[in-house]
Chains A and B, each alone.
Chain A
Amino acid sequence: MRHRTFALLVSLLLLGLADSAPAQTFVFGAQGEPVQLDPAVITDGISSRITRQIYDSLVKYKGATTEVEPALAEKWEVSADGKVWTFHLRKNVKFHDGNPLDATSVLWNFERWWKSAHSQHENQVKAGQTFEYWEAQFGGFDDKSIVEKVEAVGSHTVRITLKAPQAPFLANLAMFVFDIASPKAVEKWGTEFGKHPVGTGAFKFVEWKPNQEVILEANPDYWGVKPKVKRVVLRNIKDNSQRLVALKAGEIHGMEGLNPDDVKVVRSDPNLQILLRPTNTTGYIAFNYKVKEFQDKRVRLAFAHAINKRAIVDALYGGTGLVASQFQPPSLWGYNKELKDFEWSPAKAQALLKQAGFAQGLSEITWEDGKREPLVFWYMSRSRPYFPNPKEIGEAMAADLAKAGIKVQLQTAEWAVYLDKRKNGQLPVYMLGWTGDNGDPDNFICYFFCSPGAPREGFYSNKPLADLLLRAQSLTRQAERARLYRQAEQMLQEDVGRLFIANNQPPLAFSKKVKGYVTNPTGSEHFNTVEVQ
């Protein structure tokens, strides 16, 4: 009740201000509660939406692209062998707690992420706060990492030496996890730092009301584009429909997580607008190669011809989806324009099944260990940008498959269980997808296909493909790498290793009073350019 009264007061306040002067507060509808606000240990979009406002990284994504531009580092140089990177930090930048940003503080941040013996690293890991992304992007901790050493070579110069050149190095550094935190504040709060975040960003942390909202205020000393609003409120509204109702009522100014069918509702509302995030996400169907039937390429091909992707994308993505012919979305520079997609043809699918010895259709599978069971198609229990309504999409695909003689039973599990089963290679055929972190094709395709036979990829093994991808990772010239990624997509398609269904341009809805919101394919969006008129 108190919450509602407060919301009413805020909206009254906003209404009052609406016509006279620009509003001082930007209220954004979040999809849930942040995990915590220490960027180094989070992996979810709800938390990073907030931390991106509070912190800066050395380099950042430029506008609506994944190109990298200066942020806390004003400029940088790289040695000819691609191993030594020298970053020159911006001068006169202060953390929100008043401490200066200098080479020592950047060095301290790197050591916290990288060295397992670093006292703060140790504390946080003990408290269950693991540095997952550091491990994934930079090869591991301590000696396992691709990072050889990090030094402060001047008061505002940091030098990072790598053991081998890493093509996506800069793109990695722009990710939200590598935002620079105030060492003094981290030391002060220890494992509780995630509740008391201090960075150099455009907004300072004010308050976190659990299950309600997180409040930030403008940082008047910000080094970049000064914030246009005085306050930012990120309000937690879990249900998509309820969030839209709040937007229509003017309680919030913007939101993400629209039901696909609500896109047209927003489009037809004269007070609202839709912004699309450039596509950087692909939904797929993966086969388990421990299932004998799926070891036969003709069966996989039958799946490919049976599913009517065009109809699914047109009907179930609210007009923001694209049919995917390959893993990388068209926005990535490794995308293969020449690749032709499989034709939708139930007849072809039936013929292929017949050739493979399933003239009566396919409804049971045999695992390698001889166990027979009904063919279960796993659909996701949670909506993700690449499959915004996974149950419906799953049902539609199951219907397409049934029309071609593949009778599947649909099943799901709670999200954590689902991911766990997938990781252990227990799902025979399942839906999942990927949203890119940094705009580099390596982050998209290598994570999945660089370790042949991994249980988490359904034991899919394609050694030539993995070799090609690892080679692409070690090169530094983009044109050369792009050629290899295009080739990789072709190899993947020739083998029908996996079925790529759709890309999505996740829609965000805003009041027409909101100007200057820039969507980014990685979801890293900064609110300092946002105006509320």
Chain B
Amino acid sequence: MARVGLGIVAAFVLIAVLTPAVHRYDAKTDSNLALRLKPPTGDHPFGTDTLGRDILVRVLHGARVSLGLGVSSVALAAVVGSVLGLLAGYVGRRVDLVVMFCMDILLAFPATLLAIAIVAMIGPGLRNSLFAISLVSIPVYARISRGAVLALREREFVTAARGLGVSDWRLLGRHIFPNCLPPLIVQTTLAIAFAILEAAALGFLGLGAQPPTPEWGAMLADSYKYFTSGAWWVFFFPGAAIMLAVLGFNLLGDGLRDALDPRLKQ
């Protein structure tokens, strides 16, 4: 299954990288009211949307928006979260108390609700939703890396290194951090799936990408009302893209966990 996941993810990454390279797209001028709501045909394999825009083109270009947002928000969260966790776990005492207290506060809110609240506060838009999503993902990384540090801190190789007079920073960077990586990598793959879903949710609520940016969640929000008039293709394809991307990252994450988690190996 992990291979299937890897395949899907690779396909989406390829789409996200290649589409803008081979096809220039100006969402601002891409509309033709005469062609609106046409069902899938040879010219428009996914049909056209309510403004007569080709849905295939928008779904493909949407991959870059959704994946880009997912990856970058998770990268940001992973860096900030793991640094905080490493420090909390290694330094301990007051730093640990303060950092983990803040993380607990963040964790106390349902992630989606918190993201909505943040975006409502700082205003809608792609960049702001990226910020909101990464903020709500930080605590998980902090917790995972802190836990890992706490377990590693007392291990023999760490004590040995410390005995040899290795500095704290070097100890953290060279000996402890690399050993925290496997759980963080697993978490990152799973978190990208969550971030894509979250971005779609914010887009659906009109808080994420602003029109006419082709973002899957926003495309879904614009089109679900055509359910009653029978234009299924307008919401089916963006919905399917979200589902596939999330599924791919989840399968990949599960596979990575099986491969990297020492407890599962034994």
Residues of A within 8 A of B (CB): 240-241, 244-245, 259, 261-262, 264-265, 308, 311-312, 314-316, 379, 381, 389, 391-392, 394-396, 398-399, 402-403, 407, 409-412
Contact A259 B212 (CB under 8 A): no
Q: Which residues of A contact B229 (CB under 8 A)?
A: 259, 261-262, 264-265
Cα distance A146–B31 in the bound complex, in angstroms: 51
Contact A411 B228 (CB under 8 A): no
Cα distance A259–B26 in the bound complex, in angstroms: 28
Residues of chain B from 22 to 67 with CB closer than 8 A to chain A in the complex: 26, 28-31, 33-34, 36-37, 50-52
**Count: A-B pairs, CB below 8 Å:** 71
Cα distance A316–B34 in the bound complex, in angstroms: 11
In the assembled complex, the CB of A312 is this many whole angstroms from the nearest CB of chain B, namely: 7
Pick the contact of A315: B33, B210, B230 (CB < 8 A): B33
Q: Which residues of B contact A410 (CB under 8 A)?
A: 210-212
In the assembled complex, the CB of A266 is this many whole angstroms from the nearest CB of chain B, namely: 10
Contact B30 A261 (CB under 8 A): no
In the assembled complex, the CB of A407 is this many whole angstroms from the nearest CB of chain B, namely: 6
Determine whether B225 belongs to the interface, using a CB cutoff of 8 Å to chain A: yes
Contact A395 B212 (CB under 8 A): yes
If A316-B33, A407-B28, A410-B212 are given as contacts, then 12 extra A-B residue pairs at C-beta distance below 8 Å, sorted by A number, are A241-B224, A241-B227, A261-B37, A261-B225, A261-B226, A261-B229, A395-B31, A395-B51, A399-B29, A399-B212, A402-B28, A403-B29
Q: Which residues of B contact A379 (CB under 8 A)?
A: 211
* Residue on B nearest A312 in the bound complex, by CB: B33
The answer to whether A396 and B28 touch (CB under 8 A), given A241-B225, A245-B228, A412-B206, is no
Contact A399 B51 (CB under 8 A): yes
Residues of chain B from 207 to 236 with CB closer than 8 A to chain A in the complex: 210-212, 222, 224-231
In the assembled complex, the CB of B34 is this many whole angstroms from the nearest CB of chain A, namely: 7
In the assembled complex, the CB of B252 is this many whole angstroms from the nearest CB of chain A, namely: 35
Q: Which residues of A contact B37 (CB under 8 A)?
A: 261
Contact B211 A241 (CB under 8 A): no
Pick the contact of A259: B29, B210, B225 (CB < 8 A): B225
In the assembled complex, the CB of B37 is this many whole angstroms from the nearest CB of chain A, namely: 7
Contact with A along B117-140 (1 / 0, CB 8 A): 000000000000000000000000
Contact A262 B228 (CB under 8 A): yes
In the assembled complex, the CB of B63 is this many whole angstroms from the nearest CB of chain A, namely: 21
User: Interface range on chain B: under 10, 10 to 19, 20 to 34, or 35 or more?
Assistant: 20 to 34
In the assembled complex, the CB of B217 is this many whole angstroms from the nearest CB of chain A, namely: 14
Q: Which residues of A contact B211 (CB under 8 A)?
A: 379, 391, 394-395, 398, 410
Contact A265 B33 (CB under 8 A): no
Q: Is the interface of A mostly helix, strand, loop or mixed?
A: helix
Q: Is the interface of B mostly helix, strand, loop or mixed?
A: loop
The answer to whether A402 and B222 touch (CB under 8 A), given A392-B50, A395-B211, is no
Residues of B within 8 A of A (CB): 26, 28-31, 33-34, 36-37, 50-52, 206, 210-212, 222, 224-231
Cα distance A395–B206 in the bound complex, in angstroms: 14
Cα distance A410–B51 in the bound complex, in angstroms: 15
* Residue on A nearest B36 in the bound complex, by CB: A315
Q: Which residues of B contact A264 (CB under 8 A)?
A: 229
Cα distance A418–B37 in the bound complex, in angstroms: 30
Contact B228 A259 (CB under 8 A): yes
* Residue on B nearest A239 in the bound complex, by CB: B225
In the assembled complex, the CB of A374 is this many whole angstroms from the nearest CB of chain B, namely: 12
Contact B225 A240 (CB under 8 A): yes
Q: Which residues of B contact A394 (CB under 8 A)?
A: 211
Contact A392 B210 (CB under 8 A): no
Contact B226 A399 (CB under 8 A): no
Contact B33 A396 (CB under 8 A): yes
In the assembled complex, the CB of A248 is this many whole angstroms from the nearest CB of chain B, namely: 9
- 27 inter-chain pairs at a CB distance below 8 angstroms, sorted by A residue, are A240-B225, A241-B227, A244-B228, A259-B229, A261-B50, A261-B225, A261-B229, A262-B228, A311-B33, A311-B34, A312-B33, A315-B34, A315-B36, A316-B33, A381-B206, A392-B51, A395-B31, A395-B51, A395-B211, A395-B212, A396-B31, A399-B29, A399-B30, A407-B28, A409-B210, A411-B210, A412-B210
Cα distance A244–B29 in the bound complex, in angstroms: 33
Q: Which residues of B contact A409 (CB under 8 A)?
A: 210
In the assembled complex, the CB of A461 is this many whole angstroms from the nearest CB of chain B, namely: 31
The 9 closest A-B pairs by CB, nearest first: A315-B33, A399-B31, A402-B28, A261-B229, A311-B33, A241-B228, A402-B29, A410-B211, A395-B211
Q: Which residues of B contact A396 (CB under 8 A)?
A: 31, 33, 51
Q: Which residues of B contact A308 (CB under 8 A)?
A: 33
* Residue on B nearest A313 in the bound complex, by CB: B33
Contact B29 A265 (CB under 8 A): no
Q: Which residues of B contact A402 (CB under 8 A)?
A: 26, 28-29
* Residue on B nearest A308 in the bound complex, by CB: B33
Q: Which residues of A contact B31 (CB under 8 A)?
A: 395-396, 399
* Residue on A nearest B212 in the bound complex, by CB: A395
Contact A391 B222 (CB under 8 A): yes
In the assembled complex, the CB of A307 is this many whole angstroms from the nearest CB of chain B, namely: 12
Among the interface residues A261, A311, A312, which one has the most CB atoms of the partner chain B within 10 A? A261
Cα distance A399–B31 in the bound complex, in angstroms: 7
Q: Which residues of A contact B34 (CB under 8 A)?
A: 311, 315
Contact A398 B28 (CB under 8 A): yes
Cα distance A391–B31 in the bound complex, in angstroms: 14
Cα distance A332–B18 in the bound complex, in angstroms: 56
In the assembled complex, the CB of B212 is this many whole angstroms from the nearest CB of chain A, namely: 5
Cα distance A264–B37 in the bound complex, in angstroms: 13
* Residue on B nearest A401 in the bound complex, by CB: B28
* Residue on A nearest B231 in the bound complex, by CB: A261
* Residue on B nearest A383 in the bound complex, by CB: B225
Cα distance A205–B211 in the bound complex, in angstroms: 45
